[in-house]
Chains A and B, each alone.
Chain A
Amino acid sequence: MPELIEMEQRLSRLGDELEWPATPNLAPAVRLRIATRRPRLDRRWVMAAAAAILVLAAIAAYPPSRDAIASWINLHTFFRTVPHLATPTPLPSGPLGRRLGLGEQTTLAEARAGVRWPLLVPASLGQPDEVYVQPPTDRPSGGEVTLVYAGRPGLPAAGETGVGVLITEARGAINSEYFGKMIGPDTTIEPVTVAGSSGYWVAGAPHVFVFVDSSGQIRYETLRLATNTLLIDVGGTVVRIEGNLTKAQALQIAASLA
C-alpha cells in the first residue's frame, strides 16, 4: 500500500528530527557495579535492593553450607540454609518464559525432539498448557524443558509463579548444578521415594529459588520465591515439580510421570 509506505517514510524522517534527552555515559557506573556486585540504592528501590542485599549477604555468609544431601542422587541442585529469608526483587514483567527464566516457548513435540532423554509428562495432569525449552548452551548440558499447567480446581495458581504447576526436567553431567535453593528456618526438607526414584520434598514457607548458568554462576535475574517443590532423580533426569501442592498431590503427579 503506497499510502502506508509514504507514511512510514514520513515517520522515519520525523524520527530524525526529534529531540532526545542526552544519553548519559553509563560505562563508569556499570564498571563500578560489576566490580563491587552491590545493587545501587536508588530511592524508589531502597526496599527491594535492601532485600536483594540480604539475599546476597546470606549467600556470601554461608558459602560452605552446601548440603551434601544431593550428592548421591543426581538432583543438580545446591541447597543453602540461610538464617533469614529475604524477599527477592520483583520478577520482570512479560511472558511467563521470561518472567520465570524458563527459556523459549515451544511445543511438546518439539521439546521431545530437542532433548536426548525421554521427556516425562504426568498422566495425572495430562498435556501441559505451555512448554518451554532452555538450550544446552545456556544451562544444563543436556538441555532443560519446563511444562506449565495453569491453575485448576484442586490445584490453584501459586502467587509466586502465577501458574498451577511447573514441572522442569533437566539432564547434564553428574555433580553439575543448575538449580539453587536458599532455605530459611521455616522451610522443611524431607527425603522421599516415588516409584523407585529418590528425591526431596521441600515445603512450608516459600524458599528462594534460582537458576545457575552453565558455568556455575548464579543467575541473579532468575532469583525468585518458590512454593512447595518436589525434586526427584528419575533415571538420571532431574524432575522438579513446583506448585501450591500438598505432599500427597506432588507424589501423585510424580508417580504418574511417563
Chain B
Amino acid sequence: MEGRPTDDAELFARAQRGETAAYEEIVQRYQQMAFRTAYVITGSAADAEDATQEAFVKAYRALAGFRAGAEPRPWLLRIVANEARNRVRSSGRRQSVELRLAGSFRPGGAAPSPEAAAVAAEDTKRLLGFVSELSEEDRLVIANRYFLELSGEETAAALGIPEGTVKSRLSRALSRLRARVEGASNA
C-alpha cells in the first residue's frame, strides 16, 4: 500500500466542494491505475490516454454522485473502464493488449545464479505466452486481478460484471491456464 498523506475521503470531500486542487491530487493519485486499466481494455496507449483523460473529466462532473465514505477506486474504475470500452466500440477495432516483460527483468530472490535466473526468466516468459493464448475474457480477468493487482470489487468495476462473476471467471481462467501449462510440460 502506498503512502497516503491525505485521506481519500477528505480529498473527495474537498473536491466535491469545488476545490480543483484536491481533484488534481485525486487525478495524480489514481492516474496510473486508471491508465493501465484503460490500456488493458483498449490495447493502445494513445486510446488509453484519451479514455483516461475523458473519464477523469466525467468523474469530476459526477462527483456529486460519489457517496461520502465509499471506496473511490471502484467508483473511478467503473467510469474509466466504461470510457475505454466506448472507445474500443466506437473505433470499431479491437486491439488485444500486448503485454511484454520489462527489459530489466530480474526474477524474485536475491542474486540467483545466472543459470537459475535464466531458467526463471524462461518460465516467466512461457507463462506470459500461455496467458496471451487465453481467450479475451480470461486474459482480461487475469490482467485486472493479478497484473494490475485490483481487488475483486475493483476487477468487477473494471469489467462491468458482478463480483461473483469475477470469482467464477477467475477460477475458470486459472484452471484453463494451468491445463495449458501442464499440457506443455507433459508434451
Contacts and interface: CB of A to CB of B under 8 A. Distances in A.
Contacts of A10: 127
B31 interface: yes
Q: Mostly helix, strand, loop or mixed at chain B's interface? A: helix
Interface stretch (A12-20, A115-123, A153-161, A247-255): A12-20
B53 A219 contact: no
B149 A12 contact: yes
B23 A15 contact: no
A196 interface: no
A137 B67 CA distance: 7
A14 B56 contact: no
A18 to B, nearest CB: 5
Interface stretch (A60-68, A86-94, A187-195): A86-94
B101 A26 contact: no
Interface residues of B, number: 62
B85 A4 contact: no
Closest 10 CB pairs of A and B: A15-B147, A11-B146, A21-B45, A213-B64, A92-B82, A94-B160, A19-B102, A23-B32, A27-B27, A30-B56
14 contacts: A4-B171, A11-B127, A14-B147, A15-B148, A17-B124, A18-B100, A19-B100, A25-B28, A26-B27, A30-B56, A31-B20, A90-B89, A92-B86, A98-B78
B107 to A, nearest CB: 8
B27 A220 contact: no
Contacts of A23: 31-32, 35-36
Given A40-B53, A98-B78, 10 more contacts: A12-B146, A14-B131, A18-B100, A24-B31, A30-B24, A31-B20, A34-B23, A44-B87, A98-B160, A139-B65
Nearest to A103: B65
A213 B65 contact: yes
Interface string A215-234: 10101110000000000000
A213 B50 CA distance: 26
A18 B102 contact: yes
B140 interface: no
B148 A29 contact: no
B83 to A, nearest CB: 7
Given A14-B146, A15-B146, A17-B102, A26 B39 contact: no
Contacts of B58: 220-221
A30 B55 CA distance: 9
B163 interface: no
A95 B23 CA distance: 28
Contacts of A186: none
Contacts of A93: 82, 85-86, 89, 160
**Most chain B beta-carbon contacts within 10 A, residue among A3, A4, A24, A220:** A24
A84 interface: no
B114 interface: no
Given A17-B124, A27-B31, A92 B83 contact: yes
A135 B67 CA distance: 9
Contacts of A29: 53
A8 interface: yes
A258 interface: no
A138 interface: yes
Given A31-B24, A93-B89, A14 B127 contact: yes
A7 interface: yes
B144 to A, nearest CB: 10
